Amino acid sequence: MSKETFTTISNILEQKFHTPVTLLKHETALSDLGLDSLTLMEFVFAVEDAFGLRIPEEKLDPRQVGITLINLCNVIDEIQENSASAH
């Protein structure tokens, strides 16, 4: 997981979704962020827009229990690495 990815995700949560900074830890589950299902999907769209990518649902379904911020970071980093190596 890159530090830049985590920082970007944390900034989105803090600024756009008013998530308390105390929740912004690697091990925090998406389900523990206090976002309802619609807001959680909006968060994923905001993350995709910030990184200029789309996260396939089979890689990360935000409604799935137990997915943490570090899982999200790792998925984004993997997609970016695969995209870079494809070009």
Mean pLDDT of the chain: 90
Q: Are 50 and 76 contacting, i.e. CB atoms less than 8 angstroms apart?
A: no
Query: Which domains, ranges and CATH numbers included, belong to the chain?
Result: 3-86 (1.10.1200.10)
Per-residue pLDDT at 1: 76
**Of the given ranges (4-13, 46-55, 60-69), which has the lowest mean pLDDT?**
60-69
Q: For residue 85, how many other CB atoms are within 10 A of its CB?
A: 7
Rounded percentage of the chain residues whose pLDDT exceeds 90: 67
Residue 58 has pLDDT above 70, yes or no: yes
Residue 34, both tokens: 């206090």
Average of per-residue pLDDT across 5-33: 95
pTM over 0.85: yes
Distance from the Cα of residue 50 to its chain's centroid: 10
